[in-house]
């Protein structure tokens, strides 16, 4: 015992000694940087070679000034895929009086690399002193790769010279700044940056701030160095720079002090920047007013990059976009393309406050960036285009998506604990963006407009240029809500919102009316779409639910303030309560809960209430029920039937009323749900009967809309245009009316044009439908004609639409060749579009088997092609899994994933969700196909 005590004492003494020196090698085992050192300022100089005699490389040096909070014998920071020129590394103590002035030089005795965590550890001979400042200067070099991460190269073909032109650009979120320069690559480690970019004078360089001065580079004829102004304090993932030969158009400023706005694109696409140039400044002013906070930088550059992995990136002052997310061509882009451009620009500009000005402490709260930007962007788009009526459509669209996705057991909480940083890219998903946005909308509606705006402004003021967690936002909103009397004192925002952000899934409430007492009992449980294994407990989940309702007597579908709350307390079994609501109407009048889908929850009623609702929907005044609630009733009934909690009779009775529905949103809800059945039934003998049912539902709306009527008056309403394209797409797929014939004829007319690239008789918004159906009905003649249009097209959105249309072919050899081309960027399909091509093929009737076989046999090749961002592998599995329902198919997929575990490491979250989807389909088919056989002929 004494020996053991002595040994333990020795260990304790050694640990204490190590502690005084701060970070011993033990601390290198953590994926989080030690807190003993924080950066204050970076001076970064980068030289970029774009295919000259030195090839594609970049090199430079970074001088990092940092503060030492504890004594330490090493400096630990991030560096990945960089060669550090160790002999030239220097470390100086910085004079406390003049921080810019280096004083005593320190000896760096060696650099150790911890590759598991991307660490470079600089060991010093003399311990760094607590409270002292130092400057570490590191020369580095690396290659400009094509992996769309870090500092990488992209290219395009110049139409005039027919030459390939190169450019270099950064993508640092979440953890790729370390691949461009050594840095403290964590969001909480904010610092200021002086950036200088050296390049050949034929190029232009951009960064987060305006250029301060440009000077020639010594000993490099024809080269210049652009020195940019010092940035505000910011996280490394928001640093950005690019070297390119693009042109720009500047927005006209309307008021003194307005931000200078420039939109950059390759010369051949500069005619597509005007829409962005118009709306960028307008939505920026909207946010300045909405958040009571001026945009803090003097300029914003927005640039369209030919190869870009995500939709866009909110780098402060230099926002990078995929071409389809920034460029808009009025004669070629569809109304949906325009909406996407508006949404993405509004989203990225919202980030300038939510994410850039106030940044999450760690990636656990990524949703605070993404969910908030998604929600606020919908307000921004509504401000820009009130004539679109887009706010309701975006809300329902996001909610329907999440109802499906988040019903999976393999979903995850909004605020998700992140372990190793290689997990971060997987949470850039529907939960962070769409569910995050929906719960913020819910909060906005139960807090009221004034409380929401003032609370958010308070939060931004309090944490400007710093970092925050979700609790900081809840605190600011609670202060405002209690001051305004919007929330009772016993409810605070944290208590409510934690139940939505820290738990996976969402609730379904069961409303059981007591018609004698004019009351209802309400209970809640988690809604799950798959079978719950014996070892999983979903009954312990409990949410604070804002209860809203209206009745056949009051018909108030505008009041979204809660009439009561379902609370979670520890005093009852599992924290659940039965909530009783009084003052409900008599048995002649229906009740509908969750007005305007203001809360993220589903509702199940008793049979009598369903009967009353169905009678209202199928009668002449169906529209007495609010628009969003018509969509909600269909979605809830279909989901309850899917999980077997209710029979399909009620769901189809809801859908039948659509024969008289004229609005888009209920149709979107119904067809989204019918598509889940279609994916399975299209590969069964029941398909003919199902097809007849869909034709019966669609015929009246197809006739009423006169889809192909070219003399129709144009409309500004986005929902009307989306409805037209949705109905046309379904009508053609299910051979309703003359849809297919008209599509084929229009396409043939286009093929007969003398100059098809200049003259296209197909109405812009119907092009996706017409092209797809002409390709489906045609052969290689039509396919090759459209492929030539793809190669000729200069508009990113049109190219994506053509990829989707080419995937509609029924010619197997064309499908297989197209899939091959997706892994070869010399074919004309860009690497960023490979997943779009694959999912388009796999969702088409003739393409599913070919896509499945392609994936199963070539998974390794796909993995190599996508590297380093292999989290995108889940985009291959998901569209396949959605359509799988036979035991054999599910086994095949399982087997592949089991055999090749390493391939799916960075995509494991998406893979789990895909497998669960396939298993749920399988269970559904087993239970329901016989029922459908009996039910469909009766409808």
Q: What does the pLDDT look like over 123-147, one tens digit per residue?
A: 999 999 999 999 999 999 999 999 9
Least reliable range by pLDDT among 485-489, 562-566, 589-593, 686-690:
485-489
Give the count of beta carbons closer than 10 Å to the beta carbon of residue 10: 10
Q: Are 164 and 157 in contact (CB under 8 A)?
A: yes
- Average of pLDDT values for 845-850? 91
Q: Is 919's pLDDT higher than 50?
A: yes
347 annotated among ligand-binding-site residues: yes
Identify which of 849, 909, 924 has the alpha carbon closest to the alpha carbon of residue 873.
Answer: 909
Q: Which of 34-48, 245-259, 732-746 has the lowest average pLDDT? A: 245-259
Residue 69 banded pLDDT, cuts 50, 70, 90: very high
Query: How many other CB atoms are found less than 10 A from the CB of residue 781?
Result: 9
* Overall average pLDDT of the 386-415 stretch: 92
Domain segments of the chain as ranges = 32-245, 358-502, 506-652, 738-809, 811-938
Measured distance CA(809)–CA(813) in Å, rounded: 10
**What is the rounded distance in angstroms from the CA atom of residue 769 to the CA atom of residue 464?**
47
Q: Are 893 and 880 in contact (CB under 8 A)?
A: yes
d(CA 420, CA 29): 11
3-state secondary structure of 148: coil
Q: Which residues pair with 390 in a beta bridge?
A: none
**Domain boundaries 32-245, CATH class:** mainly beta
CA 702 to CA 664: how far, in whole Å?
13
Per-chain mean pLDDT for the chain: 92
**8 Å CB contact between 326 and 304:** yes
> Among residues of the chain, what percentage have pLDDT more than 70?
95
Task: Tell me the average pLDDT across 809-829.
Answer: 94
Q: Is residue 864 annotated as a catalytic residue, yes or no?
A: no
Between 187-196, 344-353, 715-724, 774-783, the lowest mean confidence (pLDDT) is in: 715-724
Look at 426 and 523; give whichever has higher pLDDT.
523
Report whether 370 belongs to an annotated binding site.
yes
H or E element that contains 16:
helix 2-20
Q: What is the CATH number of domain 811-938?
A: 1.25.50.20
Q: DSSP alpha helices (H): ranges in 540-647? A: 607-617, 627-642
pLDDT in tens, 876-889: 999 999 999 999 99
Q: pTM, whole model, 2 decimals?
A: 0.93
Q: In the prediction, which pLDDT does 25 show? A: 43
> How confident is residue 341, by pLDDT bands cut at 50, 70 and 90?
very high
121 vs 239: CA distance, rounded Å: 23
Indicate if the pLDDT at residue 235 is higher than 60: yes
619 has pLDDT over 60: yes
Residues 641-685 have pLDDT tens digits of: 999 999 999 999 999 999 999 999 999 999 999 999 999 999 899
Same fold, 32-245 and 506-652: yes
C-alpha span between 121 and 861 (Å, rounded): 35
Which CATH fold topology does 506-652 show? Answer: Immunoglobulin-like (2.60.40)
CA gap 413, 505 in Å, rounded:
7
463 assigned binding-site residue: no
- Token digits of residue 20: 């005084």
pLDDT band at 168 (very low <50, low <70, confident <90, very high): very high
**What pLDDT shows up at residue 14?**
38
| Architecture, CATH, for domain 358-502 | Orthogonal Bundle (1.10)
**Which is the catalytic residue, given 348, 394, 798, 916?**
348
- Each residue's pLDDT tens digit, 562-595: 999 999 875 444 556 799 999 999 999 999 999 9
Q: Model confidence at 409, in pLDDT bands (50, 70, 90)?
A: very high
**Pick from 202-211, 255-264, 397-406, 578-587: least confident:** 255-264
pLDDT digits (tens, 9 = 90+) for 171-182: 999 999 999 999
Q: What is the pLDDT of residues 731-789, one digit of tens each?
A: 999 999 999 999 999 999 999 999 999 999 999 999 999 999 999 999 999 999 999 99
Question: Given pLDDT bands bounded at 50, 70 and 90, which one contains residue 247?
Answer: very high
The answer to whether residue 629 scores a pLDDT higher than 50 is: yes
Tokens of 786: 């459209």
322 - beta bridge partners? Answer: 305
């Amino acid at each position: 015992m004494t020996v053991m005590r002595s040994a333990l004492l020795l260990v304790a003494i050694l640990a204490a000694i190590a502690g005084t020196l701060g970070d011993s090698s033990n601390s290198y085992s953590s994926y989080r940087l030690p807190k003993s050192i924080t950066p204050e300022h970076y001076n970064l100089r980068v030289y970029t070679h774009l295919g000259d005699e030195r090839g594609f490389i970049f090199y430079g040096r970074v001088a990092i000034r940092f503060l030492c909070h504890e004594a330490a014998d090493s400096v630990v920071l991030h560096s990945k895929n960089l060669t550090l020129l160790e002999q030239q590394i220097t470390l100086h103590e910085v004079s406390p009086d003049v921080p810019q002035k280096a004083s005593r030089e320190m000896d760096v005795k060696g650099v150790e690399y911890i590759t598991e965590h991307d660490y470079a550890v600089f060991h010093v001979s003399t311990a760094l002193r607590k409270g002292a400042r130092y400057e570490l200067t590191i020369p580095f070099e690396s290659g400009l790769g094509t992996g769309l991460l870090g500092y990488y190269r992209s290219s395009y073909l110049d139409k005039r010279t027919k030459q390939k032109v190169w450019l270099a650009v950064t993508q640092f979120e979440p953890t790729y700044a370390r691949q461009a320069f050594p840095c403290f690559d964590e969001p909480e480690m904010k610092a200021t940056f002086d950036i200088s970019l050296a390049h050949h004078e034929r190029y232009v360089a951009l960064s987060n701030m305006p250029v301060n001065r440009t000077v020639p580079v010594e000993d490099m004829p024809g080269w210049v160095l652009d020195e940019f102004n010092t940035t505000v304090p910011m996280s490394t993932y928001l640093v950005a720079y690019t070297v390119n030969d693009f042109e720009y158009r500047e927005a006209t400023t309307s008021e003194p002090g307005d931000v200078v706005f420039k939109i950059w694109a390759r010369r051949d696409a500069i005619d597509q920047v005007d829409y962005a140039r118009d709306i960028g400044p307008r939505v920026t002013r909207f946010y300045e007013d909405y958040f009571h906070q001026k945009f803090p930088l003097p300029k914003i550059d927005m640039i369209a990059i030919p190869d870009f992995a995500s939709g866009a990136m909110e780098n402060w002052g230099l926002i990078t976009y995929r071409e389809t997310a920034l460029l808009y061509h009025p004669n070629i882009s569809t109304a949906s393309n325009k909406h996407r451009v508006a949404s993405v620009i509004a989203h990225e500009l919202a980030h300038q406050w939510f994410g850039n000005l106030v940044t999450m402490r760690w990636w656990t709260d990524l949703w605070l960036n993404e969910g908030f930007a998604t929600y606020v962007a919908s307000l921004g788009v509504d401000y820009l285009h009130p004539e679109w009526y887009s706010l309701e459509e975006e809300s329902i669209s996001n909610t329907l998506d999440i109802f499906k996705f988040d019903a999976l057991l393999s979903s995850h909480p909004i605020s998700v604990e992140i372990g190793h940083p290689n997990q971060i890219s997987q949470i850039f998903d529907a939960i962070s963006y769409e569910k995050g946005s929906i719960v913020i909308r819910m909060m906005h509606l139960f807090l009221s407009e004034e409380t929401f705006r003032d609370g958010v402004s308070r939060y931004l003021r309090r944490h400007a240029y710093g970092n925050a967690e979700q609790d900081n936002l809840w605190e600011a909103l609670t202060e405002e809500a209690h001051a305004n009397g919007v929330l009772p004192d016993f409810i605070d925002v944290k208590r409510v919102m934690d139940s939505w952000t820290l738990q996976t899934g969402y609730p379904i409430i069961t409303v059981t009316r007591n018609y004698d007492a004019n009351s209802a009992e309400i209970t809640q449980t988690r809604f799950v779409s798959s079978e719950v294994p014996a070892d999983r407990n979903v009954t312990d989940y409990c949410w604070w639910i804002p209860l809203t309702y209206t009745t056949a007597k009051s018909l108030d579908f505008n009041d979204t303030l809660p009439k009561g709350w379902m609370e979670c307390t520890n005093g009852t079994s599992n924290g659940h309560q039965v909530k009783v609501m009084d003052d409900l109407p008599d048995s002649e009048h229906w009740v509908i809960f969750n007005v305007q889908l203001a809360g993220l929850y589903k509702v199940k009623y008793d049979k009598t209430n369903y009967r009353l609702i169905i009678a209202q929907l199928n009668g002449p005044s169906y529209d007495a029920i609010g628009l969003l609630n018509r969509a909600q009733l269909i979605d809830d009934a279909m989901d309850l039937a899917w999980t077997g909690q209710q029979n399909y009779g009620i769901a189809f009775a809801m859908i039948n009323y659509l024969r008289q529905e004229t609005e888009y949103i209920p149709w979107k809800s119904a067809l989204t749900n019918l598509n889940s059945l279609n994916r399975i039934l299209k590969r069964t003998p029941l398909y003919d009967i199902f097809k007849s049912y869909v034709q019966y539902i669609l015929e009246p709306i197809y006739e009423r809309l006169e889809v192909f009527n070219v003399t129709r008056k144009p409309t500004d309403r986005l929902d009307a245009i989306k409805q037209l394209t949705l109905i046309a797409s379904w009508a053609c797929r299910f051979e309703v009316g003359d849809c297919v014939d008209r599509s084929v004829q229009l396409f043939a007319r286009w093929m007969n044009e003398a100059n098809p690239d200049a003259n296209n008789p197909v109405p812009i918004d119907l092009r996706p439908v017409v092209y797809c159906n002409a390709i489906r009905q045609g052969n290689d003649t039509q396919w090759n004609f459209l492929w030539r249009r793809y190669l000729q097209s200069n508009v990113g959105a049109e190219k994506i639409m053509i990829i989707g249309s080419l995937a509609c072919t029924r010619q197997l050899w064309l499908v297989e060749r197209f899939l091959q081309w997706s892994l070869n960027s010399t074919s004309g399909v860009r690497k960023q579009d490979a997943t779009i091509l694959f999912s388009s093929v796999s969702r088409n009737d003739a393409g599913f088997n070919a896509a499945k076989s392609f994936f199963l046999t070539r998974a390794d090749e796909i993995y190599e092609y996508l590297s380093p961002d292999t989290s995108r592998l889940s985009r291959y599995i998901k569209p396949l899994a959605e359509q799988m329902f036979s035991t054999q198919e599910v086994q095949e997929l399982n087997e592949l994933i089991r055999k090749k575990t390493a391939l799916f490491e960075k995509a494991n979250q998406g893979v789990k969700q895909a497998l669960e989807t396939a298993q749920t389909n399988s269970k559904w088919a087993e239970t329901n196909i016989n029922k459908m056989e009996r039910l469909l002929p009766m409808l």
